[in-house]
Amino acid sequence: MPRDSKASPSPSGSVAPADNLKALLVRSQDEFEVEFYESIVAGHPAYPEVLSRLGQVLTNLGHHQRALAIDRMHVQIRPSNPVVLYNLACSQSLCGHVAEALDTLKLAVSHGYDDLEHLGADPDLYPLHDYPPFIQWYAAQTLPDMPRYC
């Protein structure tokens, strides 16, 4: 007997397996990765490589609040890792927490983050570009040997 191509609920009322497969095929790779990594984090919340990738994918999808929560978890595991701190600053910036983002950037730099060119061009940090304390701090970082007249 041929199968009906339309979705039909199973006797329990759930969606048939073929429909689950169709739904998976329609989702993007990023959406698939989010679900995959979230399932790992649910069982192993202290898995830094998974937290790193999950935060990145959530940011790519524009889920900035969720990425911020993941980056905060990651910093709990690796509190002195400069890249982890930098990523947290990016999430804070994207969520509009500019003062907090600047504090976290300063911490990242104090722990060894030194790619100031990338920092100045990173779109995730654009919300900081109009923030006077950031402008002043960034100028001091990138022009440390300039004579100070004020």
3-state helix, strand, coil in the chain (%, to 5): 65, 0, 35
CA distances to 8, 18, 92, 137 from 3, rounded to whole Å, are 10, 10, 50, 66
- pLDDT per position as a tens digit, 97-131: 999 999 999 999 999 999 999 999 999 999 999 99
- pLDDT per position as a tens digit, 7-55: 444 444 555 666 666 665 566 787 888 888 788 888 888 889 999 999 9
Please report how the helices 82-94 and 64-77 are oriented relative to each other, as an axis angle in degrees rounded to 10.
Answer: 160
Can you give the pLDDT at residue 26? 60
6 pLDDT exceeds 50? no
78: alpha, beta or left? (left if phi > 0; alpha if psi -120 to 50): beta
- pLDDT per position as a tens digit, 48-101: 999 999 999 999 999 999 999 999 999 999 999 999 999 999 999 999 999 999
Can you give the pLDDT at residue 22? 61
Can you give the pLDDT at residue 40? 87
Ordered structural domains, the chain, with CATH: 28-139 (1.25.40.10)
Distance (Å, rounded) from C-alpha 119 to C-alpha 20? 42
